[in-house]
Amino acid sequence: MFYGRFLVKLYKKLSLLLVFLVFLSVNAYAQNIALPNFTPIAEKVLPAVVNISTTQVVKGSVNPFGEMFSNSPFSDFFKHFFQGYTRNYKAHFLGSGFIISSDGYILTNYHTVKQATDINVTLNTNEIYKAKIVGYDPEVDIALLKINPKRPLPTLQMGDSSKMEIGQWVLAVGNPFGLSGTVTSGIISAKGRVIGKGPFDHFIQTDAAINPGNSGGPLVNMDGKVIGMNTAIIASGQGIGFAIPSNTIKEELPYLMKGEVPKRGWLGVGIQMLTPEVADLLKLKSLNGAIVNEVFKNSPAAKAGIEPGDVIVSMNGKSIYAPDLPYDIAFTKPGTKVVLGIIRNEKEITKTVILGERPQKESQQKLETIQPSTQSSSFSTPYGFSVAAINPNLAKIYNLKEHTGVVITSVDPNSFAALAGIKPGDVVVKLDNKNVYSIDQFKNILKQKPNENVISMLLKRGESTLFVTIQKS
């Protein structure tokens, strides 16, 4: 009996030992699979990453007494008395960059060197060189610098950002907070992000730590090739950083090398994103596409017959998403023919457009869509707002350039119209995708509406236009 109990205890102990050993081996195996060896990549990349220190002249308010009276009864007096007293002073900023040619060409963010009076580049070897700006593009936030090194420098090769997939490993390299040679790892979290930083946002999102001072540093793949330039963080978000795709940088480089402003394609439209409500109203099968809310005068779009209210759903046969359209158009060469798939009045059509060259101030070239009208009445709709024919008095009240047409005169604050953001003074350009020239026409379109619970309108507000959908209140 004793021998039997001994065997049972021994069996239990051996079982526990076996389970423990299996756990250790599985855990070690999982770690070996999940984490690549970053050391060879870091050793390859770090020698070509530089620290950029700039001096800028900035203007600021000055209190000649410093903190002397900060806690005294006179603090408010001195603050008020000297609040208009300003002076120029020098400020120093830090950033990162990476070498792309052995003779000293360096890429960084434009905002890192913007308005700099002095630029110093510190190499990985602690050598310091003066740098000059060869070319820059504020809209994409890229600058090209040049130093004159005493020897050939190590360089980084540009990769293909379009081949990067969500979930793939990347390394962010730079000098956050002035700490040179810092490497952080993460994955590609998303592609084509629009964060409102510029007109052509198309960022790579990563959770690799990007901090102040990382700007201009490279984001590299597991081959050590640059697939992005670290450029932005969200202050309120942890683990959210953004990089300019390498393919965008490669498009810019030929212009920057020559010190030229990049020539970009121009369609000449203003667009809005599709919402589920608008897509349902227009009987669209998906949210892919961009609503055209304005067409600029004499633009390629106007010449091709594109109209406000059209929904652009494809470009050269490829389905398009609203945030991608400005980027895709801008980085297509002027003079290129593109075929746009458009939905108009529930029918799909195509328009061939020859892209122009993007002007500096396209917002000043708006296409007038309001036509003459002889009506002079008003109408209260069941959707929580009222309209009236534009007359000289209303034109003066609402500061309208138009002297004919239909204008919104009041909005119920508790209505869906108010929720949709329409305001008194908005001019009605289209109702349910039909041009509106008069109150009678507005009423007739409303009467013919098959779905009386929801309407869509194209409105003009000042120099802007917007597309809205409104439910019956």
Which of helix, strand or coil describes residue 344? strand
Residue 397: phi and psi, rounded to 5, are: -60, -45
Find where tokens 């021998």 sit: 3
Alpha-carbon dihedral sign for residues 315, 433, 454, 413? positive
Instruction: Report how far residue 99's alpha carbon sits from residue 104's, in angstroms, rounded to the nearest whole number.
Output: 7
Does 148 show up as a binding residue in the annotation?
Answer: no
Does 141 show up as a binding residue in the annotation?
Answer: yes
Does 214 show up as a binding residue in the annotation?
Answer: yes
Catalytic site residue from 53, 96, 137, 141: 141
Does 231 show up as a binding residue in the annotation?
Answer: yes
Does 410 show up as a binding residue in the annotation?
Answer: no
Assess whether 111 carries a catalytic annotation. yes
Does 352 show up as a binding residue in the annotation?
Answer: no
What are the structure tokens assigned to 351, written together? 């328009």
Closest to 470 in 3D by CA, of 435, 423, 425: 423
What are the structure tokens assigned to 127, written together? 């050598």
Catalytic site residue from 111, 161, 180, 432: 111
CB 336 within 8 A of CB 265: yes
Catalytic site residue from 96, 161, 180, 215: 215
Find where tokens 């619970």 sit: 453
Does 232 show up as a binding residue in the annotation?
Answer: yes
Which of helix, strand or coil describes residue 62? coil
Assess whether 61 carries a catalytic annotation. no
Does 235 show up as a binding residue in the annotation?
Answer: yes
CB 203 within 8 A of CB 243: yes
Alpha-carbon dihedral sign for residues 248, 251, 256, 257? positive
Report the binding-site residues: 111, 141, 213-215, 231-235
Report the binding-site residues for substrate: 111, 141, 213-215, 231-235
Active-site residues: which are they?
A: 111, 141, 215
